[in-house]
């Protein structure tokens, strides 16, 4: 049955009118073989290129030349251990540095157990991943983590061991190799801010071993922790209040910015930095292409500061970038910086001294949902204009939903000018998406509602937030139609943004919220599990059954993905800008590259619109329907969208 489906649905999208030839593929699959003798020379050259700066930064931070020498020795050791295929891939990626900026890049993120049970299961589902046009998979945390104290795997107790139920390091290598054969890149989390309290270091620290205590932040009384609390905000104000945990058995406080079982590592200790770099290189050598640096702004702590985005964080990320450019230059760094835009952008570093290759476009994501709730794209347009004005080398990852909550980090200064006040607006958005306010069809739950600040974040799947859950429950066909339209329009808009789109697994078939987490005592307190449900493969089979919600969504997304692949204006470094539509609910994004141009129109409201757009004369072909249109008078249905390609 499944095989039949996949055959059938591989034809899906054939109705697209996009006729342009495929542009260059992102992955140079046939990499040249690097001979052993050449490898040494290549390494020496890379090392030479970065040595001065690396040593300078290391000494500035640690002033410890023997630890630096140890780092250098180990870098070479990891390079020697790196297998031939990966070395060849490094070399070809070094020569085509823009390999990940091509228009066929499409990501998907999933938890391995939710998606396919274990690593072997994922390997057996690679055809489905290809069918989704995905060539980059983010495997959510899979390293060893204590059950019930795992924070979704973000509390790692062993950086060199895969969770037993998911497989082994050999399975990981087998999976990355299989992915590479299909041109699929593999991303994993590198949780470097903290370890689990079950990590070997933490266990020894707990027993009072000073060498290991110095790898964390230990205090034998509350004086310093209290000082820190004065300036350090809280990440989980409700589920894990405070930034320190008292350990009665050890008679000490330990710093725990996240959950009490996630102990912050002390990067002032060069042993921590070195060992974590060895872990990073060890994992890179398993065939990982993209390393997501988890919670990166938090990795350096100083008293009397918010302990976020301190300048030493940038020193560390820059060193990490150089270390990877020396040992494994095919690997990309993806920074997880869930902050306002001014804080995010510095993580790209500068042209001469780059830090991360890619960053999440988090403010745009939150502003997108604000636009859904308000039917007003003014703030979103402003936000996109900011992103579009940044250097084109900066690659953002765009997404509608991920495994985390949505924090309402909007530009409240701008909203204030329109009379919208922060606290009331957050309340409105949370009410709206829970389905209590306005014309809402959304379903979902609050996350970390803080009774003191009144702040709360939000959890739910894309489909549930678009109304698919409610319409399904009420068996309301018209509402379902609308919900699917909104869901597809949001994806179409997300694909038009500057950068690389990433789908959350299940979104391609409209998977709704999963409330079963409430029955699991290890998960019940953390509402993020509402949108981390297991992939429903029975539903996924419907993608070949015309008329089903799954088929409609899958088919529509597939059409969009094929257009993206076929049209070179979708490369990440195309010119991208917004234009005025004179309608507050309709967003327009334009992309242009090498003389070609596509105008996207996106209606964020449930009303049909007629638009009179100035300055875009001439005829366009709408790429989904193939119809000819002009922008000086154009009608756009409720929650509709167009991809309009300028005719020659
Ligand atoms: C990141 C992860 C989040 C986790 C946190 C602590 O923000 O995305 O899921 O809770 O780091 O590791």
Both structure tokens of 648: 């020659």
Please, are residues 365 and 466 in contact by the beta-carbon 8 Å criterion? Answer: no
Structure confidence by residue, pLDDT tens digits, 519-573? 999 999 999 999 999 999 999 999 999 999 999 999 999 999 999 999 999 999 8
246 beta partners: 253
End-to-end CA distance of the chain: 45
Span 323-350, pLDDT tens digits: 999 999 999 999 999 998 889 999 999 9
Report the C-alpha gap between 370 and 400 in whole angstroms.
12
Contacts of 305 (CB under 8 A, 6+ apart): 231, 232
Instruction: Indicate the Cα dihedral angle 73, 75, 77, 78, nearest 10°.
Output: 160
On the 0-12 / 13-18 / 19+ scale of CB atoms within 10 A, 392 is middle
Alpha carbon nearest to ligand 1 atom 8, residue:
404
Does the pLDDT of residue 366 top 60, yes or no? yes
Residue 230 to residues 223, 233, 360, Cα–Cα distance (Å)? 11, 8, 29
Helix, strand and coil content of the chain, in percent to the nearest 5, comes to 45, 15, 40
Full-model pTM: 0.93
CA of 536 to the centre of ligand 1 (A): 25
Q: What is the pLDDT of residue 33?
A: 67
Distance 529 CA to ligand 1 centre (A): 13
Is the CB of residue 300 less than 8 Å from the CB of residue 307? yes
Euclidean distance between CA atoms 585 and 640, whole angstroms: 11
Which protein residue has the closest C-alpha to ligand 1 atom 4? 154
Question: What is the chain's mean pLDDT, rounded?
Answer: 94
- Over residues 453-462, the mean pLDDT reads 93
Euclidean distance between CA atoms 5 and 542, whole angstroms = 8
According to the model, what pLDDT value does residue 30 have?
A: 54
Pocket probe for ligand 1: among 260, 263, 295, the residue whose CB has the most ligand atoms within 8 Å is: 295
Q: Which two tokens stand for residue 413?
A: 């200064």
Look at residue 454 in the predicted model and tell me its pLDDT: 79
Centre of ligand 1 from the C-alpha of residue 295, in Å:
6
Burial class (CB in 10 A: 0-12, 13-18, 19+), 615: exposed
602 touches 489 (CB < 8 A): yes
- Using the mean position of ligand 1's atoms as its centre, give its distance from the Cα of residue 21 in Å: 40
pLDDT tens track for 1-36: 233 333 333 333 333 333 334 444 444 445 566 677
Please answer whether residues 130 and 8 qualify as being in contact, where contact means their C-beta atoms are separated by less than 8 angstroms: no
The DSSP call for residue 535 is: P
**Six-digit token string for 277:** 């770099």
Q: Are 150 and 198 in contact (CB under 8 A)?
A: no
Residue of the CA atom closest to atom 10 of ligand 1: 151
DSSP structural state of residue 568: G
Atom of ligand 1 nearest to the CA of 152: 9
Atom of ligand 1 lying closest to residue 403 CA: 9
Task: Give the contacts of 52 (CB within 8 A, at least 6 positions apart).
Answer: none
Which residues share a beta bridge with 634? Answer: 611
Question: Could you give the CA distance from residue 181 to residue 358 in angstroms, rounded to a whole number?
Answer: 24
pLDDT of residue 15: 35
Neighbours of 520 (CB within 10 A): 11
Please state the atom number of ligand 1 nearest to the C-alpha of residue 155: 12
Alpha carbon distance 74, 514 (integer Å): 45
pLDDT of residue 621: 98
pLDDT of 452: 80
Measured by CA distance, the residue closest to atom 11 of ligand 1 is: 295
- What would the pLDDT profile of 117-176 be if each residue is shown by its tens digit? 999 999 999 999 999 999 999 999 999 999 999 999 999 999 999 999 999 999 999 999
pLDDT at residue number 32: 63
pLDDT, tens digit, 9 for 90 and up, residues 242-300: 999 999 999 999 999 999 999 999 999 999 999 999 999 999 999 999 999 999 999 99
Pocket lined around ligand 1, Cβ cut-off 6 Å: 151-152, 154, 191, 258, 294-295, 336, 403-404
The pLDDT score that the predictor gives to residue 490 is 98
**How many Å lie between the centroid of ligand 1 and the Cα of residue 294?**
7
C-alpha torsion sign, points 450, 300, 200, 115: positive
With tokens 């699929």, the residue in question is 184
């Amino acid at each position: 049955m499944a095989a039949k489906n996949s055959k059938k649905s591989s034809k899906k999208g054939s109705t697209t009118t996009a006729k342009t030839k495929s542009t260059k593929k992102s992955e140079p699959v046939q990499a040249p073989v690097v001979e052993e003798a050449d490898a040494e020379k290549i390494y020496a050259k890379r090392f030479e290129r970065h040595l001065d700066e690396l040593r300078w930064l290391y000494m500035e931070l640690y002033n410890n030349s023997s630890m630096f020498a140890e780092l250098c020795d180990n870098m070479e050791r990891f390079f020697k251990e790196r297998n031939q295929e990966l070395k060849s891939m490094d070399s070809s990626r070094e020569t085509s540095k823009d390999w990940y900026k091509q228009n066929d890049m499409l990501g998907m993120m999933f938890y391995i157990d939710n998606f396919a049970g274990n690593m072997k299961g994922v390997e057996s589902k690679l055809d489905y991943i290809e069918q989704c046009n995905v060539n980059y998979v983010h495997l959510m945390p899979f390293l060893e983590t204590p059950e019930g104290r795992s924070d979704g795997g973000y509390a790692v107790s062993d950086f060199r061991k895969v969770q037993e139920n998911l497989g082994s390091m050999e399975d990981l290598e087998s999976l990355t190799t299989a992915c590479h054969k299909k041109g699929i890149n593999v991303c994993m989390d590198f949780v470097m801010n903290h370890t689990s309290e079950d990590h070997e270091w933490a266990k020894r620290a707990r027993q009072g071993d000073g060498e290991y205590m110095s790898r964390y932040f230990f205090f034998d009384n509350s004086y310093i922790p209290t000082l820190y609390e004065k300036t350090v905000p809280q990440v989980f104000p409700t589920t894990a209040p405070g930034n320190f945990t008292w350990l009665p058995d050890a008679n000490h406080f330990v710093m725990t910015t996240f959950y009490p079982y996630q102990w912050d590592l002390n990067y002032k200790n060069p042993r921590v930095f070195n060992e974590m770099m060895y872990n990073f290189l060890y994992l890179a050598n398993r065939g990982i292409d993209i390393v997501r640096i988890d919670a990166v702004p938090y990795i350096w702590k100083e008293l009397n500061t918010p302990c976020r985005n301190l300048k030493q964080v940038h020193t560390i990320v820059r060193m990490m970038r150089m270390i990877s450019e020396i040992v494994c230059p095919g690997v990309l760094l993806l920074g997880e910086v869930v902050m306002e835009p001014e804080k995010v952008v510095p993580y790209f570093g500068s042209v001469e001294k780059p830090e991360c290759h890619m960053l999440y476009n988090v403010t745009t994501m939150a502003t997108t949902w604000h636009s859904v709730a308000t039917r007003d794209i003014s703030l979103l347009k402003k936000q996109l204009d900011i992103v579009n004005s940044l250097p084109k080398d900066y690659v953002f990852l765009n997404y509608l939903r991920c495994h985390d909550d949505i924090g309402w980090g909007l530009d409240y200064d701008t909203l204030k000018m329109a009379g919208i006040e922060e606290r009331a607006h957050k309340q409105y958005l949370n009410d709206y998406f829970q389905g209590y306010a306005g014309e809402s069809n959304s379903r979902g739950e609050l996350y970390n509602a803080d009774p003191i600040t009144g702040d709360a974040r939000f959890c739910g799947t894309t489909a549930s937030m678009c109304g698919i859950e409610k319409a399904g429950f009420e068996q309301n066909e018209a509402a379902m139609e609308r919900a699917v339209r909104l869901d597809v329009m949001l994806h179409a808009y997300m694909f038009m943004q500057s950068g690389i789109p990433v789908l959350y697994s299940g979104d391609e078939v409209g998977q709704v919220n999963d409330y079963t987490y409430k029955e699991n005592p290890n998960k019940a307190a953390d509402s993020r599990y509402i949108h981390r449900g297991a992939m429903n493969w029975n539903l996924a089979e419907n993608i070949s059954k015309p008329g089903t919600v799954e088929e409609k969504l899958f088919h529509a997304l597939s059409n969009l993905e094929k257009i993206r692949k076929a049209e070179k204006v979708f490369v990440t470094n195309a010119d991208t800008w917004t234009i005025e539509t004179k309608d507050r609910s309709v967003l327009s994004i334009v992309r242009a590259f090498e003389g070609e141009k596509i105008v996207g129109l996106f209606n964020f409201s449930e009303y049909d619109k007629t638009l009179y757009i100035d300055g875009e004369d001439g005829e366009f072909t709408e790429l989904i329907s193939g119809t000819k249109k002009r922008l000086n008078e154009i009608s756009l249905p409720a929650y509709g969208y167009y991809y309009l390609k300028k005719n020659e």
